[in-house]
Structure 1
Amino acid sequence: MDGKALVAAVGSGDAEAVTRLLEAGADPDTLADDGLPVLCRAVAAYDEDVADALVQGGADPDRILPDGTTPLVRAIDGGSPSVVTAVLGREPRLRLPEAERERLLTRARRWYERGAEAELRDRTGASGPVHRARVMDGEYHHVTQLTLDGSTVRAGHGAILTDLEWAFRILPPVDELASRALAQGDPDHVDWWSGQWILSRRRSKETWSAVAAYRHAPTPLPRRFALDVLWAFMWPEASWRNSYEKETEDLLVSWATEGEEDPEVLAELLRLLGDTDRPESPAIGLRYAGHRDPRVRAKVPDLLIVWGNPPPLPSAEARATLLELAADKDGNVRAAAGGALCTACDGSPEVTSAVVALLRDPVARVRAWMSEAVTRCADRSADVADALFALLDEEDFPVRLNAAYALLRREDPRTAEAVKRVGPLSRPGYEEDHRLSALWSWEWNRRNS
């Protein structure tokens, strides 16, 4: 097969076309116009999707290039953890000899310890200013991208080093990984995420205990990092033998009971506790309902609801607290309280009035949140239905969709008008949406009955 089509697909960043061409017989190691395999072009473009498609299709990440490097080495130099992960491929520990693994680790460690700017200056020989930009690396995390004299690198080598060590089954001390993760001081940075993820994969008593010890760190940042790792420890694993869910929940309960001074850390602690069904949660929620920081108060409603199917009604004290929080001065707190009231709706006039007030809240994001929460609410009162119908005047499509869906579920006589005011029922990105599907089915049945 002519390789020009593959070169063009790689150059345009079309991962789906790359996969199709490889399945049709294109050579995954096709050379581009510069004489290098197309995988190198994907690496240079920081296109992890295309790089992954090529490697999965058989491209050789260890091919020796004219300058003595390989596509994998170039990926490490480029500083993008997501690209390195794509190029690294599956089971690199089995594929690469020990000497090559050590060479890759040494290279990543040098970049990290010297710093991306120092390495970039050495390679370019330029002394001018470095242009810095914050860019996304992967779908959820960011990294600093540096450009000097036409050359570009990303400063994600802390994450790359951590990822390579894990891929090669090297287990540095927990404190070393935590130090790398915390160096940037940013929970959204790639270094933080890599350290968090790898530590959560090291399912051992020693690792769990070392992470839990950061609860007593004198500064907030390590405590926040510990919570991020512990959150991942709460994810179910294939075997109960390496599960630390109960130990983690016990730690969260004792931590919240004894107190946490930093509001951001406390809010995250309560968020994690809200994902559990611990019997201590309502009492902990009541304790923090009057906290000065709205980020903390916004996490209280989830603690006051005891989950079940259907969920039991909250206690009188919890119910009164939710009603109070539904009138909080902060919109996020009001929305969280409204969602909890909808989940455990008791049909009382007080709860109905609070739900209606929130559906008519002056803050658009509160109305949007409530429009979704009410789709799960058992309240079938006329006041709630009227408030939902009023939301059909909103410009935001998801709000109108939620309102129409909630009216349909209530068998409201205005459903036909609601469906009409939602607008076209064919929307890009909503092909699998259950709400839109329900409206479409209702409209089809009405016309064909």
Structure 2
Amino acid sequence: MTEPTDPDEAVAALCAAVAAYDQEAARALLEAGADPDRVLPDGSTPLLRAVEGGSPAMATALLGHDARPRLPEAERGRLLDAAREWYEEGAQERLRRLTGAAGPADVAWVTDSEYATVPEITLGGRRVRAGHGAVLTDLEWAFRVLAPVAELVARGARSPRTEHVDRNAALYVLSSRVSAQTWGQAVAFRHDPDPLRRAFVVDVVRYRLWGWFETAHAGWYEKECNRILVEWEAEETDAGVLGGVLEALGEAEVPAREAIGLRRAGHPEPGVRRWVPGLFDWWPSEDATRVLSPEVRRALRVLCRDEDGGVRAAAAGVLAGEEPQEEDLALLPDLLRDPDPEVVLRTLRGLGSVTRGVPEVAELLVRCLDSDDQEVRLGAAHCLAVRDDPRTPEAYAKVGPLGPEYEGDYRADGLWRWKWRNMRDPEPDPDPS
């Protein structure tokens, strides 16, 4: 686009971009000098309009990195009040009051940023995004206003959708506040009677476990996360929340995870069982070799026959990544022709990590090359390549031309790597990086 040079034209174009939720155009105009704080004839500013528009991505773009010293205290207060009023009243209710429109609103979930979505509401000829909770949270953080932990938890847990912008913003701020007081108040909500709040706190623990936001006390927080998760697993009664706890335990280095997995393998809810295999998929140390105990192998075989496809897929991915025993070989044919395609793909991914294969497995992989699914054919060809099977060139020929979505896929250059290992005059590495 051609950026306007006149300040009035630039602000008018910026307001149009805000109204259209065109983040790319808004950023280009800001870089060209459009003023987000310019007072408009109605007394608003482009930044205030972005705040009221309910898109945290747009509001953050106009807020910039120096908002607190740039904006007078009164203007900061006006922005906070606007976001809070829209959030507390509700975007749809506020829009209905402003427009006087009757009848149902048109609500569609849209992507607001790379990792978050938000409801977009159209009513009475006006459109708004219902992300004011996230906008308020972002403004508070930018203006150094420490919202009560209970309020942040309430915002984050308001929607059950894990990708909701309000949830993401609350998680970010709680993870950025590294004090023991904030941590203690947040994790205390694992005892809250509302399962939505408990599910939100599972993610609070996971964010801290990942250690994205601080390093000074990483060791202490890791121990705290591990302790809390182990205690929580024993206490949790809601299947949905328990599944989240088990998922988090699958990312933690907790010696008790195998015992927990064996105990939960027979849980009546598939949403719990599908996280059990992940508890067995770990290495005690960086230089250790994973060895599945006989009890774990038996549990995985049972889960590979589960009525739920998600459970079968998770179990197959772990069990297939081990050197097969006789009982495993009896399972593989059924897993590789399972009616759920995810089971087949997870089985192939597991088999692709085993470099020493038995002939029975190689024959099963060759049969997969006749699949109508290119993803299955590619997975089978890659498994043959890592096993240095002489049929690898023919296997990749059956895969067929790969589309741009496979660019960077480690399986796509399996033939090249096979030729290199076997000194078959490979062409230049398709991905030298």
> Same fold by TM-score, threshold 0.5 exceeded?
yes
Q: 1:302 to 1:184 in 2, by over 3 A?
A: closer
Q: CA deviation at 1:226?
A: 0.8
How many aligned residue pairs are there? 421
1:431 aligns with 2:401: no
Q: 1:84 to 1:349 in 2, by over 3 A?
A: same
Give the share of equivalent positions with the same residue, in percent: 47
Unaligned 5+ residue runs, structure 2?
Answer: 428-433
In the alignment, is the contact (CA less than 8 A) between 2:355 and 2:386 conserved in 1? no
1:213 maps to which residue? 188
In the alignment, is the contact (CA less than 8 A) between 1:326 and 1:333 conserved in 2? yes
2:171 maps to which residue? 196
Q: CA deviation at 1:269?
A: 0.3
Q: 1:327 to 1:71 in 2, by over 3 A?
A: same
Distance in 2 (CA, whole Å) between partners of 1:29 and 1:400 is 58
Deviations 1:327-349 (A, max 9, x none): 22222112211111133x14422
In the alignment, is the contact (CA less than 8 A) between 1:342 and 1:378 conserved in 2? no
Distance in 2 (CA, whole Å) between partners of 1:28 and 1:387 is 69
1:284 maps to which residue? 260
1:169 maps to which residue? 144
Which residue of 2, 7, 14 maps to 1:6? 2
Q: Which runs of 4+ in 1 moved over 6 A?
A: none
- Report the residue type matching 1:194 in the other structure: A
Q: Please, what is the CA RMSD of the aligned residues? A: 2.5
- Report the residue type matching 2:298 in the other structure: A
1:274 maps to which residue? 250
Distance in 2 (CA, whole Å) between partners of 1:177 and 1:130 is 28
Distance in 1 (CA, whole Å) between partners of 2:88 and 2:292 is 54
Q: CA deviation at 1:232?
A: 0.7
SS in 1 for 2:411: helix
Deviations 1:91-121 (A, max 9, x none): 3223222222111111111212222234324
1:322 maps to which residue? 300
- Report the residue type matching 1:316 in the other structure: P
Distance in 2 (CA, whole Å) between partners of 1:409 and 1:248 is 37
1:182 maps to which residue? 157
2:19 maps to which residue? 44
1:146 maps to which residue? 121
Q: CA deviation at 1:134?
A: 2.9
1:339 aligns with 2:328: no
Which residue of 240, 248, 260 maps to 2:216? 240
- Report the residue type matching 2:145 in the other structure: I
Q: CA deviation at 1:27?
A: 5.0
- Report the residue type matching 1:280 in the other structure: A
SS in 1 for 2:81: helix
Q: CA deviation at 1:282?
A: 0.5
Q: 1:265 to 1:128 in 2, by over 3 A?
A: closer
- Report the residue type matching 2:194 in the other structure: T
Distance in 1 (CA, whole Å) between partners of 2:6 and 2:348 is 49
- Report the residue type matching 2:237 in the other structure: E
Distance in 2 (CA, whole Å) between partners of 1:376 and 1:71 is 53
1:111 maps to which residue? 86
2:41 maps to which residue? 66
1:93 aligns with 2:68: yes
- Report the residue type matching 1:199 in the other structure: L
Unaligned 5+ residue runs, structure 1?
Answer: 8-25
Q: CA deviation at 1:209?
A: 0.8
- Report the residue type matching 2:133 in the other structure: G
SS in 1 for 2:108: strand
Distance in 2 (CA, whole Å) between partners of 1:352 and 1:310 is 25
- Report the residue type matching 1:311 in the other structure: T
SS in 2 for 1:65: coil
Distance in 2 (CA, whole Å) between partners of 1:429 and 1:97 is 48
Distance in 2 (CA, whole Å) between partners of 1:149 and 1:313 is 63
- Report the residue type matching 1:417 in the other structure: E
2:289 maps to which residue? 311
2:431 maps to which residue? none
Deviations 1:423-442 (A, max 9, x none): 114x2133222221333565
Which residue of 384, 391, 401 maps to 2:361? 384
Q: CA deviation at 1:56?
A: 4.8
Q: CA deviation at 1:57?
A: 5.4
